[in-house]
Amino acid sequence: MITREQLVKKYVEMLRCGRAAAFLGAGVSKPVGFFDWRELLREPAKELGLDINKEHDLIGLAQMYVLRKGNRGRLTQEILNHFGRDVAGTEIHRILAGLPVTKIWTTNYDLVIEETYRREGIDCHVIRDDTALAYSNINAPVTVYKMHGDVSQLNDIVLTRDDYEFYDSTRSAMSSAFYCALVEYTFLFLGFSFNDPNLQRVFGKIRAIFKENSREHFTILREPQPRDEDYQYEKNKFDLFVEDLKRYNIQTVAVKDYGEITEILKDIEQAYYRKSILVSGNGYRAGTGFDEQRLRDLCYRLGRYIIAGGYNLTSGLGPGISALVLSGAMEELYRSGRRSEFHVRFNLFPFTGNQPEMRDRYTKGLMLKSGCCIFISSGGEDRAAVAAMMREYEKAGELGKIVVPVGVTGPVARQIWEREKRCYAGTKLEQAFDALGAGSKSNDEIIEAIFSIISELA
């Protein structure tokens, strides 16, 4: 097994290089009210005179039920009744939607993944059968692969033992695509039991070809606890299962409670965006000794240093301070010959409108994709802009972001600086923080102080 910290570090590395994928099993959809396979077959098992709690071959049970009924109609209807609802996803779904995971695979019949992306304003291309693999949606940054189909195409779902046995002929392209994905991407398996025979077959093929050199993958599993029934037996079985997964280079993080899975995803989200910086500010009429030209120069230099220092920029596309920071950042990227990194180094979110509720949602979206918030100026006379900057500061605190106020640049930034000053008192960063409020410091000295704080805290 590996530690939580090792998983976060390794998976974030894959996110940064665009090689991270996810596989979501039934366990991820259970918190929003959907059954797993065992619960779905509970009533059919009763009709067959069987106890679902004593059955382990659930695929065989589904096959026997279809044979007894003479067709798939009754079982298919049960699937539609249960899974045919548009339900917003869990926090796990939301976090994944906010990360650059472009490939999501699942054996679930529900529509939770698509609905989560829709509510987050992200298009996703859904592939449910072999034919759909031939096409791409250029407007969708995420592709969702439904290996067993879903409730939108009930006639083609993988349901019985016959479906599994003929999978490589009826869905050969899907099987091959998954094989290629396991070779090219690092997967994080969530809510998945690894009992699916199709997946076991693909894992076996990869192991046969790559032997000890297959790509590393990860999963998070609940470890049996002393309070559980038949604890020692289940613990021994769990340990053996974790060892067996290593044959396929699937590394396991063990948790005591399913809620820890969400916390680990939050750690991944925070670690990924830790090097992303949001610069918040407005108003050119700065305080004494900090005129408009100097403020412009500071913002431009700040943008350049963000890129030169290996950080990423999260920004709106509005005029003023955001535009100046963005200008400096883009110039540095092009000067350094790394313009191919544009989509990795910049998180840009255009916004127009004055509705406070929409603007607050927009601001929260920016901050969720940032690890640090730098506050500059607001020496202007626009009261709404001043109030908005203070709300952004409060939201940054609620979300646990690193707050770096350049107090010397304007009244509102000074107000935030005064509030944060006590957090740095008596620490090794006190001198750097004091420099952000000192009018005697040059722009270069201010920027040096900003990144002394960020590099230490991030």
Determine the Cα–Cα distance for residues 211 and 80; give it in Å rounded to an integer.
41
Burial pattern 15-36, b for ≥16 Cβ within 10 A else e, equals beeeebbbbbbbbbbebbebbb
The pair of three-digit structure tokens given for residue 296, joined into one six-digit string? 């412009």
With beta carbons less than 8 A apart as the criterion, state whether 362 and 250 touch.
Answer: no
Determine the Cα–Cα distance for residues 274 and 372; give it in Å rounded to an integer.
7
With beta carbons less than 8 A apart as the criterion, state whether 91 and 120 touch.
Answer: no
Distance, CA of 135 to chain centre: 25
* Closest C-alpha among 107, 124, 105, 106 to residue 116: 124
- With tokens 């949602």, the residue in question is 361
DSSP strand pairing (312-316 vs 217-222): unpaired
Determine the Cα–Cα distance for residues 47 and 45; give it in Å rounded to an integer.
5
* CB neighbour list of residue 222: distance below 8 Å, 6 or more residues apart: 254, 255, 256, 257, 258
Q: How many CA atoms lie within 13 A of 417 on its CB side?
A: 24
Task: Give the N- to C-terminal CA distance of the chain in Å, as an integer.
Answer: 27
In the set 56, 82, 148, 343, the catalytic residue is 148
Q: By three-state DSSP, how is residue 85 classified?
A: coil
Beta strands in 173-257 (DSSP E): 186-190, 217-222, 250-255
Is 82 annotated in the active site? Answer: no
Cα–Cα–Cα angle for 408, 413, 417, rounded to 5 degrees: 80
Burial pattern 243-259, b for ≥16 Cβ within 10 A else e, equals eebeebbbbbbbbeeee
* Closest C-alpha among 409, 436, 438, 410 to residue 423: 436
Which positions are catalytic? Answer: 148
